[in-house]
Structure 1
Amino acid sequence: MNTAADFAAITSFVLELEKLKAVLRKNRPLGQTRFENTAEHSWQICLLAMSVLPHAAEPVDMGRVVQLLLVHDIPEIDAGDVNVYDATGRAAAEAKEEAGATRIFGLLPSATGAQMYALWREFTTGTSAEARYARAIDRMMPVLQNLNSAGQSWRENGIRIDQVTRMNHPKISGMFPTLWPLLEQQLQAAVTRGDLGPAGAE
């Protein structure tokens, strides 16, 4: 093991992560006019994941869930953030994310880089209980933000309730069957308030 070389590689990786603080998402922090960045999102969803663990439908290793959540958006340094409801944009971003994952995790010493890439791939494919949990959390947080910001990003992007339900229900309800009905009630109330578009509306 070459300690100096390993530390130089680790330093390059963690300094590259500074760029994640400049990747802007579509949600604004509550009460603020600026958009949140992806690094903030990653921190917040880790705490959400820890908080709702008692409501999970199956046991998970929370340490691994947090690892998955911390690495899953790192390739956005190269690919940027795409609105989850933009199917065309999401498809186009997949190749960029794959290339970004290879490049960025490749900055690390090989064993560590391979481990982080494997975590990213596990999240992306949703093959484990921990990945399913992490993916549910990743979808839950933007819903909570919009429900508590008068539908800020929903309104700005013309999102309808059927889109929100179709995107989020499969991921959230399977892992959190007691929480999804509560979110669904709030989504219906958001439509009534005009914070979220009704089903089928343009």
Structure 2
Amino acid sequence: METPSLSPAARLAQQIEFIVECDKLKEIFRQTLVTKSRRAENDAEHSWHLCLCVIVLAEHANTPNLDVLRVLKMVILHDLVEIDAGDTFAYDTAGMANQHEREAVAASRIFGLLPPDQARQFRALWDEFEERATPESRFAAAVDRFQPMLLNVRTQGGAWQKHGITHDRVVARNQHVAAGSQAIWAYADQMLKEAVAAGFLADAPRSKAED
């Protein structure tokens, strides 16, 4: 059964309520620190910074003629679910175990505030980002992983030092950046090695067999 179309006034009212709800993203704080004051970055700042990264770095995507507008839509939408689900620290294995399920429920509620056609469109973009099956979603995910690494390096270890994160874990978590941009991953890989050399990121502990 087809959903009756909304009047323009009702449609606008729903869209405004969605926009107001999304203002809450400004109050979801991440583990990553901002470079100047070294306070915690909030999710809205993260989303803005990702959009800037996409615009500036799009030429380094593995796929030429990337649909940059589609990438921007994904990076501006994908963290909205954290209004309900909260930010899950990248190295919190317990939190990561059910992260997708919690965020999928949040996506249904938050995007469901919109008129049905926009709700479907936005949810499809969120799912596309999660699945990383398209060139645009792989580049979006690459930038999403690169930005926190960059801020951690530029804050002398930031969240890595606070939580005792080692080089091997950062590489394991983020090496799929290469699927979206081999050039950005090459830069990040070198950046991580330099962070180890500078003492910002701990090297992996040596096993007894290596001693």
Given that residues 57 and 174 in structure 1 are in contact (C-alpha distance below 8 angstroms), is that contact kept between their aligned partners in structure 2?
yes
- Matches of 1:44 and 1:96, distance apart in 2: 24
Q: CA deviation at 1:201?
A: 6.5
Q: CA deviation at 1:163?
A: 0.5
Q: CA deviation at 1:144?
A: 0.7
Given that residues 27 and 142 in structure 1 are in contact (C-alpha distance below 8 angstroms), is that contact kept between their aligned partners in structure 2?
yes
2:53 is the alignment partner of 1:48: yes
Aligned residue in 2 for 1:109: 115
- Matches of 1:152 and 1:12, distance apart in 2: 36
TM-score by structure 1 length? 0.95
**Structure with larger Rg:** 2
Query: Percent identity between the aligned chains?
Result: 38
Aligned residue in 1 for 2:42: 37
Code of the residue aligned with 1:104 in structure 2: it is I
Aligned residue in 2 for 1:181: 186
TM-score by structure 2 length? 0.91
2:25 is the alignment partner of 1:20: yes
Aligned residue in 1 for 2:62: 57
Matches within 5 A, 1:1-202: 1-59=6-64, 60-170=66-176, 172-200=177-205
Aligned length: 201
Given that residues 162 and 200 in structure 1 are in contact (C-alpha distance below 8 angstroms), is that contact kept between their aligned partners in structure 2?
no
**Secondary structure of the equivalent of 2:120?**
helix
Code of the residue aligned with 1:9 in structure 2: it is Q
Given that residues 24 and 35 in structure 1 are in contact (C-alpha distance below 8 angstroms), is that contact kept between their aligned partners in structure 2?
yes
- Matches of 1:92 and 1:179, distance apart in 2: 29
1:139-195 Cα distance to aligned partner (Å, 9 max, x none)? 00001111111011110111100011111112x122222232222222112112221
Structure 2 unmatched ranges of 5 or more: 1-5
**Secondary structure of the equivalent of 1:52?**
helix
- Matches of 2:163 and 2:206, distance apart in 1: 13
1:114-135 Cα distance to aligned partner (Å, 9 max, x none)? 1101110110111211000100
CA distance change for structure 1 residues 12 and 201 in 2, over 3 Å: closer, same or farther?
farther
Q: CA deviation at 1:81?
A: 0.3
Given that residues 160 and 201 in structure 1 are in contact (C-alpha distance below 8 angstroms), is that contact kept between their aligned partners in structure 2?
no
Q: CA RMSD in A?
A: 1.4
- Matches of 1:201 and 1:65, distance apart in 2: 40
Q: CA deviation at 1:97?
A: 0.7
Structure 1 unmatched ranges of 5 or more: none
